[in-house]
Structure 1
Amino acid sequence: MLPGSKLPSVTFRTRVRDDSLGGPNPFRWQDMTTEDYFAGKRCVLFALPGAFTPTCSTYQLPGFEKGFADFQAHGIDAIYCLSVNDSFVMNQWAKAQGLENVQVIPDGSGEFTRRVGMLVRKDNLGFGLRSWRYAAIVKDGRVEAWFEEPGLCDNHGEDPYGVSSPDTVLEWLAADAQGAAA
């Protein structure tokens, strides 16, 4: 997406903890919209091919989680991790990763991912439709900066990672702050 583009308005089906329900699975459905996540905030959004996958679980998600204070220092209010996985999977992945700072967004049907042009086939890995790896800085629902891994295509033989890394996004934020101060 180009800087200045408005994120597509989509409803995400999420599961949230509700202790009033009791029992072993005290979660209820809660619809969240693009506007619920991004309106009135400056955020980092990063997307990846799948929860529990090696690069996503070892580098990308932990890097954003551990660097949260650095992102806040550059005016970031929230960091969101989006994947074409359902809410059950995303919640369990967040729990397994011990997330305290990054919030997960389940794009179970891939609608948001399709509408931002990042939905790709990963049949070669047995994944089906998934997100291409990217990151964005979003201010009040509009793309401020876009970081897309090279080679966007179906059934890519590799999983490029670097352009959408936490370090790259932080470098852009630091340069942007320098430019604003000049």
Structure 2
Amino acid sequence: MIEQGQKLPAVTLSELTKDGMVTHEVAELFANKKAVLFAVPGAFTPTCSEQHLPGYVVNADKLKAKGVDLIACVAVNDAFVMKAWGDDQNASEIMMLADGDGSFTKALGLEMDTAGFGGLRSQRYAMIIDNGVVTQLNVEEPQSFEVSNAETILDSL
């Protein structure tokens, strides 16, 4: 599993924007920025839609006021699903990133197998990133939502 002080892996993530599909090199996306990246097991799932993403939507301005340049959500879903979920949640301040094949999640060592629920998915976590380096990593225990929420990350900045 990735640890604090380590650089993010050199992989790509996708985003569906109003201008079409964009492929982001992770190293470039997080270079020269202070960022918060949080991961959810799946778009449109209960905890993710009722608490996790909404917390970041509500606290986006507070996070940016503390020097965060980029707030991003990632899931092992495709970019079309991530865009639809972001639109549904009014998440205009959040970059909705797709890890369609799970390569980013696997490179971080934060994958989990949900078997019949969805197969390979991401564990729930949040990290603070400074110029591509993880400075804080909060990984949830299975079935928990205590350390990756926006309020906890806000208190950590």
Q: Classify the secondary structure of the residue corresponding to 1:67.
A: helix
Q: Does 1:164 align with 2:148?
A: yes
Gaps of 5+ in 2: none
Q: In the alignment, is the contact (CA less than 8 A) between 2:128 and 2:136 conserved in 1?
A: yes
**1:9 maps to what in 2?**
10
Listed as ranges, the matches of 1:33-182 within 5 Å are: 33-124=25-116, 126-151=117-142, 159-173=143-157
TM-score, length-normalised on structure 2?
0.94
Aligned partners of 2:57 and 2:90 also within 8 Å: no
Instruction: Output the TM-score relative to the length of structure 1.
Output: 0.82
Aligned counterparts of 1:67 and 1:29: Cα–Cα separation in 2: 27
User: Deviation of residue 65 (structure 1)?
Assistant: 0.9
Number of aligned positions between the proteins: 156
Give the letter aligned to residue 7 of structure 1.
Answer: L
What SS class does the counterpart of residue 53 from structure 2 fall into? helix
SS at match of 1:88: helix
Deviations 1:83-119 (A, max 9, x none): 0000010011011111121111100000000010111
For residues 42 and 74 of structure 1, the distance between their equivalents in structure 2, rounded to whole angstroms, comes to 10
Alignment partner of 1:99: what SS?
coil
Tell me the alpha carbon deviations over residues 53-109 of structure 1, each in whole angstroms, 9 at most, x when there is no partner: 011011110101110111112111110000000001001101111112111110000
Q: Which amino acid aligns with 1:163?
A: V
Deviation for aligned residue 1:17: 2.1
Letter in 1 for 2:14: R
Larger Cα-atom Rg: 1
CA RMSD of aligned residues (A): 1.2
User: CA offsets per residue over residues 126-152 of structure 1, 9 Å max, x none?
Assistant: 21110000000001100010101125x
Counterpart of 2:112 in structure 1: which amino acid? Answer: V
Deviation at 1:33, TM superposition (A): 1.0
